[in-house]
Amino acid sequence: EVQLVESGGGVIQPGGSLRLSCAASGFTVSSKYMNWVRQAPGKGLEWVSALYGGASTYYADSVKGRFIISRDTSKNTLYLQMNNLRADDTAVYYCATISGSYLDCWGQGTLVTVSS
């Protein structure tokens, strides 16, 4: 069974950094394209970043230059390094697998709160 489990969320001050993890089981992260999607409290879904193959990375304009997506195949884990965090980065962050043009498997999410 394909499963994704996010961790690493918490409360962080503006300007701080946080690294989110997404542990995969039932498949290898090297075999799938993967995404991060976030959802601010009470709001809709916003795509954040995608990782294709080993080195092709893509970012929404709102996080470009501040966030870095990566993976560790030995740990079968996807990461999102978030730097220079702002209040409007406050959200539940989901990792999801990409199948063509849609997202077919989602983790349960991890909450990031940026507040002083």
Partner 1 sequence: DIVLTQSPGTLSLSPGERATLSCRASQSISSSYLAWYQQKPGQAPRLLIYGASSRATGIPDRFSGSGSGTDFTLTITRLEPEDFAVYYCQQYGYSPTWTFGQGTKVEIK
Q: What's 63's DSSP letter?
A: T
**Rounded to the nearest whole angstrom, what is the least distance from the CB of residue 24 to partner 1 in the complex?**
15
For residue 12, the surrounding DSSP H or E stretch is strand 10-12
First to last CA, the chain: 40
Residues 68-107 that bind partner 1 (CB under 8 A): 94, 99-107
Name the segment binding partner 1 (CB under 8 A); options: 13-21, 39-47, 68-76, 83-91: 39-47
2 binds partner 1 (CB under 8 A): no
Q: Check if the beta carbon of residue 8 is closer than 8 Å to that of residue 78.
A: no
Residue ranges that bind partner 1, judged by CB under 8 A = 35, 37, 44-47, 50, 52, 58, 60, 94, 99-109
